[in-house]
Structure 1
Amino acid sequence: MYNPNLNQFTPIKQYKPFHSTFDPCPPLKRKYYRTPPNLYINFQPPNLEQFPPYEALMKGTLWKALYDYYENPYKERKS
């Protein structure tokens, strides 16, 4: 059966860890982890859009499709 949600790329994944009643620390309700974009690209397509050289050095990659900004999911956001 086709599920359209399975084909969408999401860099942030989450899961609910097991919590024992004997855990000494307060539990995190959800844990998060990131998957890099290169897991979802099977081969390098021709003519990928590139960053300028100086910006590529700052971002750590030449290709815009492989850039993944890290945002801490546990940090409270300021509104």
Structure 2
Amino acid sequence: MEERYPAYTQVKAFKPFHGRFDPCPPIGIKYYRTPPNLYMNFQPPNLEQFSPYEALMRGTLWKPLYDYYENPYRERKS
């Protein structure tokens, strides 16, 4: 049986409930991100590291724990 949704994705989405008598327009789909450390049971030894300068710029020393943020609401230029 094939899985419909993958188990590991950092970008999640949901659609808030909108009732028939709700005076506000529907919001649509809302997106949120989950950090990569949620999917690691423990920190394995000898993880690949950024250089000290690059670690300060990215906010983490370990490459597998770095998460690039991309705004899902911004329209992409093709």
In the TM superposition, structure 1's runs of 4+ consecutive aligned residues that sit over 4 Å from their partners are 1-6
Partner of 2:29: 30
Which structure shows the higher helix fraction?
Answer: 1
Decide whether aligned partners of structure 1 residues 32 and 56 sit closer, same or farther in structure 2, where only a CA change above 3 A counts: same
Aligned-residue offset at 1:20 = 3.0
Counterpart mapping for 1:12-51 below 5 A:
12-21=11-20, 22-24=22-24, 26-51=25-50
Q: Percent identity?
A: 69
1:29 Cα offset (Å): 1.9
How far is the alpha carbon of 1:5 from its aligned partner? 4.5
Give RMSD over aligned pairs: 2.0
Normalising by the residue count of structure 1, what TM-score does the alignment of the two structures yield? 0.83
Deviation by residue 1:4-47 (Cα, 9 ceiling, x = unmatched): 8454x2100001111234333x4232111110001111111011
